[in-house]
Chain A
């Protein structure tokens, strides 16, 4: 997943700010979900499982011509710990990677969390959730590993394009091929490891509750696949994302054009477009922080009352 850790300085301000704002409630929701789903000992378990993923990423699986790949782990964690807990573990891993190895930026942490810990985990959980009973189970596990990687990659490409990073059809084509190969490998490794884990102790696998409907599962999986395909297709169009971005009001083109003149002399602190953006970003972060703190306090008070 190394290629998907977006560093700081690449994403435009509206993109990273929005994704930070989206990641916070997403992870908060996962925390609440995991608290319901796991027994009391979950804190050390999630920590040790994070360490397991770090270690697993060093175990090489031979592919072809002496090349090898390794497990990325999002889908495997969602199938064993449940998607809520998997989100927490992956978020912790992303935080540590960004702090300790500068692998992925701090401001881009929201983007990376949304891509891998939320989209990746839930795209990995979806096929398994619907296909885990019956003879299509192995297919469900494979599709989980496959989709988790491909959906993360599609989201990352989407964010880069919205930030005005140029890509043409060739580059999107080549990177799509690389991502599909990585995704197939992740699916195969997830199947192999999950089968081996089940042989040791079937209790370590999550059994989805509720009535599983196979057709609903196939439909959901197919729609996620089509969405991913759509993202790759739009990315390859010369102006696909620019027109979309302009419509959404997050265009980065105008920023590039704007910075050149810097004509506002009167009140440079507020009138300068970039100064305003900086203040805007700062105010946004402060508001998000304040909201989280308030909601957290309220929830805590409710719980203790």
Chain B
């Protein structure tokens, strides 16, 4: 949770990137990811110009660079594992390096996107880009109640500990299972009831099938300029190593 809270905190900044429309940022990140994904695995150095673009964006965002780099390192185990296998098995070190570099760079781009875009704005952007309303509203209510339900689970755990003061024998696996599954069932029931309450409250306030925003986003000329520039830069960075090997 700490990671997402930190990103959320960063997203309230006011850099050049923060002020752009969420859609422009999302599309340019997708273009960036495609560029990364299509670099030849045999030539990891072809990623350098793209990585330089990321560094430029990171500088523009004014986020704490070191912290972002370290926090995003949590994605590394997966590609490092498969990279090591391919290295040990085929002696193919450049493929291994490419896997790790591409995964890390892709995850960094997404982390940067979330560091300069508040999640609610991004979800509104998804809706404006044509993602079905039902899916976006489920996402919005999931985000809204996530912390509440998780807190509820933690409170229930504390209550259980208070009741038996941890006296339940550690070895009695069966009763521990009963306690855990019972707790989950109660949490399930509470969530169900909470959802019903939420829905009634929404109806009472005149919900008509879509969430309304107080700050409707407008795609301005500045967003168009950013999108065009970033698309051009990404294309150049991707194709440059091919033109001049």
Interface contact B182-A98, CB-CB below 8 Å? no
Which residues of B have CB within 8 Å of A293?
130
**CB of A196 closer than 8 Å to a CB of B:** yes
Which residues of A have CB within 8 Å of B37?
8-9, 11, 13, 16, 107, 281
Q: What separation, in Å, do the CA atoms of A29 and B181 have in the docked complex? A: 32
Q: What separation, in Å, do the CA atoms of A252 and B36 have in the docked complex? A: 16
**CB of B213 closer than 8 Å to a CB of A:** no
Asked, given contacts A47-B144, A102-B74, A107-B34, whether A10 binds B132 with beta carbons under 8 Å apart, the answer is no
Count, chain A residues at interface, CB 8 A: 91
Question: Which single member of A13, A31, A52 contacts B132 (CB below 8 Å)?
Answer: A31
* Most interface-central of B30, B33, B42, B184 (chain A CB within 10 A): B184
Interface contact A47-B185, CB-CB below 8 Å? no
Q: What separation, in Å, do the CA atoms of A165 and B33 have in the docked complex? A: 19
Asked, given contacts A10-B103, A91-B135, whether A96 binds B143 with beta carbons under 8 Å apart, the answer is yes
Chain B min CB distance to A147 (Å): 20
Contacts of B39-75 to chain A: CB distance below 8 A: 39-43, 72, 74-75
**CB of B95 closer than 8 Å to a CB of A:** yes
Q: What separation, in Å, do the CA atoms of A62 and B176 have in the docked complex? A: 7
**CB of B119 closer than 8 Å to a CB of A:** yes
Interface contact B180-A60, CB-CB below 8 Å? yes
Which residues of A have CB within 8 Å of B72?
102
Chain A interface SS verdict (over half): helix
Question: Which single member of B30, B146, B181 contacts A189 (CB below 8 Å)?
Answer: B181
Q: What separation, in Å, do the CA atoms of A55 and B42 have in the docked complex? A: 42
**CB of B220 closer than 8 Å to a CB of A:** no
Chain B interface SS verdict (over half): helix
Question: Which single member of A47, A259, A277 contacts B195 (CB below 8 Å)?
Answer: A47
Which residues of B have CB within 8 Å of A98?
110
Asked, given contacts A31-B135, A105-B33, whether A196 binds B239 with beta carbons under 8 Å apart, the answer is no
Which 5 pairs between the two chains have the least Cβ-Cβ distance? A47-B141, A259-B40, A9-B102, A8-B106, A196-B185
18 contacting pairs across A/B (C-beta < 8 A): A7-B103, A8-B102, A9-B104, A9-B106, A10-B82, A31-B134, A47-B138, A48-B191, A49-B195, A54-B150, A55-B152, A56-B187, A62-B177, A192-B178, A192-B180, A204-B188, A268-B239, A275-B238
Interface residues of A (CB under 8 A from B): 3, 5-11, 13, 16, 27-28, 31, 34-35, 40-41, 43-52, 54-56, 58-62, 71, 80, 88-89, 91-93, 95-96, 98-103, 105-107, 160, 164-168, 171, 189, 192-193, 195-197, 199-201, 204, 255-260, 262, 268-269, 272, 274-275, 277-278, 281-282, 285, 289, 292-293, 296
Known: A8-B103, A200-B186. 18 other contacts (CB 8 A): A9-B102, A10-B102, A35-B134, A46-B141, A47-B144, A51-B191, A54-B149, A59-B157, A61-B177, A61-B180, A95-B139, A100-B7, A102-B74, A106-B33, A255-B40, A274-B40, A282-B31, A296-B132
Interface residues of B (CB under 8 A from A): 3-4, 7, 29-31, 33-43, 72, 74-75, 78-79, 82, 85-86, 89-90, 92, 95, 99, 101-107, 110-111, 113-114, 119, 122, 130, 132, 134-135, 137-146, 148-150, 152-153, 157, 173, 176-178, 180-189, 191-192, 194-196, 198-199, 202, 238-239, 242-243, 245
